Every structure is written in C-alpha cells, then in structure tokens.
Structure 1
Amino acid sequence: MNDGRESSADRLLALIGEHQATIREALDEEQHALLLARLGALSEVAPDDVMAIGRALQGVKLALLPLPLDHPVRAALESLRFVAVPPGPSTVAGAQALLALLSTPSPSPGPEAAPSLEQLLLARALSAEEAWARCGGAAPPPELIRLSDPQGGVHYPEFQFAAGSGTPYEVVLEVNRLLLADIDPRGAAAWWLSSNIWLDGTPVSLLGRLPDQQLVGAATALVEGD
C-alpha cells in the first residue's frame, strides 16, 4: 500500500496512457502484443502483493525497451524507480484501465475516436491546490484544461506545465484559447492527447520538440476547418 503519493509505477502507467498513440505507431504487432500481455499480467496481480506487482512492472518495462530512445516513455524508463513510494492497488487498477485503452482497435477508416473522460483522466494531472502552487499561489489561468473527476475533485493535466519552471507553457495557453478549453475542456484535452494528422503524432508528445507555431498552426487548422 502507498501513502497517497503517486508511485513511479503509476507515473509509468500515466506516461503510457498519455503517449499510447505514438507507442502503437513505434512498436510492431508482435512488440505491441507483448506489451498488452505484460500489462494483462500486471492487471491480474493481487492488489496487495507488492513483490508480484514489482515483478510484473519489470516485465512492462522490458516490453517498452524497443521504443526509440527519444520517445518520451522510453526516455523516462531509466529515471523511474519503484522504491520510494511502493506500488499498490492503484497500480493494478491503472493497469486494468490502461489495458482496456491500448486494446481498443484504432478506428479505420475515418477520424480517430476522441478519448473518453476515463481515458483523459489517465493522464498525469495536478490537483487544484497543486495547480495554484504552480501558478505562484494565484488562480490558474482560465485557458488551462480543468477536468472534473466523477469520483470528486478536479484535474489539471500536468503536460500543460513546463518541467523546468513548473509554470504553464505559453504555447499551451495559446492553443487552449483557440480550442476554447474554458468552455470545452474535454475537447481540448482530447486534441492534445489524440493523434494529429497535421503533426504526425500526438501534440502532447511534441511539446518542446516542435516549434510552438507548428502546434498553434495545427490547432488553428482545426478551428478554421482546413
């Protein structure tokens, strides 16, 4: 059992959920099937068996090694440790939800289906209190995506905040204004977390890797119907 803090195991599952589209693109059929099998094994572990969860997690990590070294999930593997906050029931539950997400066939032909609220909530997020702290003790800008959890509380997807300064990305605020995130936060979150035909990937995985104006341009193309 953990103490309420997020474990590295839960962080890993959240990263996989955030980047599931590019993971599917990067792995061949056999590699993706192995990842699903390893997540399936994790989802079936007894929630209170920390040692078994740890072994299953190592299997998940090994299944992710074929990802390109510059892929966000692959790059994070070496820094994730399952020690400081041990995995627990939330890890098994997260694996079950993630397995369902990754097992859903990609729709073809036609546009990709928007992620559900449950899928959006898999993304690593901040509480309202944490978001206020990231904003220097002030109210978070209305442009930030704010998702209401049916279980209570609100989530601010963490990808909106720069890793170094911790403050909101200016490009995220600009794109979210275009996407009317204050009116339709789920739609804005789905844009960031879904594969994008103009960017050839998920916008969230390209933050800091593409020039800001390319992200703004892709959002503008959507809004203007190009």
Structure 2
Amino acid sequence: MSTNGARERLLGLLGEHWESVNAALTEEQRTTLLTRLGDLGATAEADGKAVRRALQGVRLALHPLPFGHPVRAALDSGRLAGSVTAPVDVVAGARALLARLAARQSSPSPAPDTAAIVGAVRRRLLEAPSLAAEEVRARFGGAAPPPEVIRLPDPVHGDRYPEFQFTGGEGTAYGVVLEVNRLLLADVDPWGAADWWLSGNVRLGAAPASLLGELPGEQLVGAAAALVEGY
C-alpha cells in the first residue's frame, strides 16, 4: 500500500468503524477527534507541513481507543507510517469523511459545544501543578527554556509550565520529557502534548507524567512514538 493509500486507509477505517470508535470514546474525546479531523479538513492542501501536523493531531486524538480496536491496531502496527507526499488527497479524504459522518445523522441534533469542551480540557490541564515563566527561566540560568518544554498560556496567571517536566529541586527538564515532547510537537501543540502526559494511557496503564522516574525512559518514548511515528 502506498503512503497516501495508507492515509486514506486510516480515514476509511474511521468511517468503517465509526460506531465502535464513537462508543469507545468519551464525549470529550470524541469532540477532540472531530475537532482534529476538522482541522485537517480546513488545512491548506498545498501546505505539507501543516497537513503533517494536523494528521498528528488526529493520531493523538485516537490514542484513547482500546488496543484491540481495528483503528488503534492499524496505528500501532506501523502500517500507516511514512511521509505525506500528496497532502491534497489527505485533506480531501478528511473532508469526505466529515461529510459522510454528517450524512449519517438520522435526525437533526445540536452540534456539541466544541469551544466549551476544549475550554474544560484546558482548565483541567492548567489545574495541574505548574511553574511560572520566571521560575522556569531561573532553572535555565536566566535563559528561555528550549522550545520542547510545554508552555501553556493561562489568561489569568500568564504562561504556565507543567511541573512534571522538571527534575526535583532546581533542576532543569528531564531529558526523556524533551525527547517525548519533540515527538509530540509540543512547540506546535502544547495542549495536546500536555494532555498526553497528564491523561490516562492504556498502553502504560497510567498517566505518563506519573511514571517519570519509575519506568525506563525508552518505554515512555516508545509509547509516544507508537502514536506519532512517521507523522
């Protein structure tokens, strides 16, 4: 199967198994997935880098699916890895999938309040222990932290940096955190990266952030790579 055929296969699997995908996700997770698919469908077809990022968002939104699910199995097998060589086809595929899902609605129903759900997710992430910008700069000798460090903009308290990223005392960031954050494109999608670290992970059996210092770093990297490798 060609690379773009594999991408179309992912979108086809989502359409084929949407009922079970829908049942396996919470309302919040389902809305996140639909939002990420919408982002992909709204991406400029000629912008390969933006399409790659949007695809990664879709892939991350699918990580709560159980391991036996056909869509999750296809992602974890690596059969959908590779670069995007025809972004226009992938974007068109996302738009077609969203149109098919809309057509399946048997009766009109109010659209989910995506903004409210996204806002709730962000508030949850901001409630996790964090450091202020000046505290983080102090840990890096007064310099700005590297772009791989997750920075969450808080409209009330200014930029916040989730505390799990940093070693104890006055230490800087864990090396494994920076490695995983690079995979998750934390500089592009800090909310998605923070959600991966702070939410339950079926593969690891707990929120990845809670396993820092307990699991070998390669297991954390492997769990992140299983989601985004090739994207």
Query: With structure 1 as the length reference, what TM-score do the two structures score?
Result: 0.49
Larger CA Rg, structure 1 vs 2: 2
Query: With structure 2 as the length reference, what TM-score do the two structures score?
Result: 0.48
More helix by percentage? 2
